[in-house]
Amino acid sequence: MTELILDVHDLSIDYRTPRGKLKALRNINMQIPKGKIVGIVGESGCGKSTLIGAIINLLASNAEVTKGGIKLAEDELFNLSKKQMQALRGDRFSMVFQDPMTSLNPVVSIGNQMIDIQYRDKISKKEKAAKAAAMLDKVGIPDPESRLSQYPHEFSGGMLQRIAIAMALLVEPELLIADEPTTALDATLEVQIIYRLKELQASQGCSILFISHHLGVIAELCDEVVVMYSGEVVEKGSVRDIFHNPSHPYTQKLLQCDPAAIKHKTRDLPTILGSLPDLIEVPKGCIFAERCDFASANCHENKPKVSQLNDNHMASCHLLNEAGALYA
C-alpha cells in the first residue's frame, strides 16, 4: 500500500457571512504519497487557498470545519493543540508563498532570517550560517556567503523566490506546500525555479503540494494532479491521465484554455463561458452544470458519483463510463 504523507478525507469547510454560510469546500478527498509532487489546479475561487489554510491550520476566523479531517502521516491535524500545530509548522511541513516580498522580513538580513528558521537545530550559529549559504548555493544564488548579510530589497523578485524556497527546504520538511510560487515571475525564471525545485525534491526526498494556475508548470513538475472546481475535487489522476486522457468536461475545458495548447495565430483566447456558482445556495446537481456543454436535466438534478477510471484516476461526471470515455 502507498504510504501517504498527507490525507485530506471528506473535508468540508464553511465561511460564516452576513448572507449565510458559504460552503467553500465540500467533501474533499485528496492524498499526497510520500516522496511525490501533487499539483492542484483550478480557477480562482475553486477553494485552493481554503484547502491550504486548513492544512496549515491558519483559516480565517469565520471559517468552520463542518466535516472530515486532514492527516499528516499519522497525526490527525484537527486534533492537535495550537502548540502542537505550531511545532509542526516550519519543521515537518513548510510553505512557500506567492509573493516573497511579503513573506520575508524586510528589516532583517537574509542570513539572520535563515539562521532564525533553524532555531530547533542544536548547532552553532556559524554552522547554521554555513548551512544557509550551502542552501542558497543549491537554489542558484551566486556568491552565497557574502549575500547572507544583504536585505530582501537588495535582491530581484526571482532571487527572493529562490531564497524563500531555500528557507522552506532548509528545515528538511516532510511536506513542502508551494502556493503559486512562480506566478509573479517571468517565464525564464519560472522554468529555472521549477527545475531547481524538482532537483531539490529528488535530493531531499520530501513531498510537495504545488498550487498553480499554470498548467505547463504542473505538467512539468508534478507526478499527480487534483482538479478542483468551486470547492469540489472533480477529477484527479497521474499527470499522464489528466493531460492525455482528461475525463471531466471541466478539466477538458481548462486544458483547451491553456494558451500553450493554441496552435494557430489568434486574437481571441478561449475561455470557459459563465461564472462560478453561488456557494451560499450550492446547486443540488453537478456543480459544473451551468457551464458544461454536455449538461442534461439529470446533471441539474442529481450529483454525479465518483467514477474510478483506473487505480489512480477518478472523475465525477454522469457521462463517464468505466473506460472514462464521454458519451456523445
Instruction: Catalog residues that contact ligand SF4 under the rule CB under 6 A.
Output: 248-249, 286, 288-289, 292, 294-295, 299, 304, 317-319
| CA 136 – CA 81 distance, rounded (Å) | 34
Q: What's the Cα-to-Cα distance from 272 to each of 49, 258, 269, rounded to whole Å? A: 21, 11, 10
Residues in the chain: 328
Backbone phi and psi for residue 85, each to the nearest 5 degrees, phi listed first:
-70, -40
Minimum separation from the CB atom of position 201 to ligand SF4 (A): 33
| CA 84 – CA 106 distance, rounded (Å) | 28
Give the torsion sign (CA, 153, 157, 158, 163): positive
Backbone phi and psi for residue 190, each to the nearest 5 degrees, phi listed first:
-60, -45
DSSP one-letter code for 246? -
Minimum separation from the CB atom of position 287 to ligand SF4 (A): 7
| CA 182 – CA 142 distance, rounded (Å) | 20
DSSP one-letter code for 42? -
Of 101 and 276, which has the nearer Cβ to ligand SF4?
276
Backbone phi and psi for residue 70, each to the nearest 5 degrees, phi listed first:
-135, 130
Minimum separation from the CB atom of position 327 to ligand SF4 (A): 9
Of 131 and 300, which has the nearer Cβ to ligand SF4?
300
Q: Angle at the Cα of 137 (from 134 to 138), degrees rounded to 5?
A: 90
Of 151 and 294, which has the nearer Cβ to ligand SF4?
294
Q: Are 136 and 153 in contact (CB under 8 A)?
A: no
Of 218 and 319, which has the nearer Cβ to ligand SF4?
319
**Partners of 320 in the β-ladder:** 326
DSSP one-letter code for 282? -
Helix (H) or strand (E) holding 250: helix 249-256
Minimum separation from the CB atom of position 281 to ligand SF4 (A): 17
Minimum separation from the CB atom of position 43 to ligand SF4 (A): 15
Of 185 and 319, which has the nearer Cβ to ligand SF4?
319
Minimum separation from the CB atom of position 273 to ligand SF4 (A): 13
Minimum separation from the CB atom of position 316 to ligand SF4 (A): 7
Q: Are 176 and 209 in contact (CB under 8 A)?
A: yes
Of 107 and 297, which has the nearer Cβ to ligand SF4?
297
| CA 233 – CA 62 distance, rounded (Å) | 23
CB within 8 Å of 93: residues ≥ 6 apart: 55, 56, 72, 173, 174, 175, 176, 177
Of 210 and 288, which has the nearer Cβ to ligand SF4?
288
Of 30 and 319, which has the nearer Cβ to ligand SF4?
319
Minimum separation from the CB atom of position 289 to ligand SF4 (A): 4
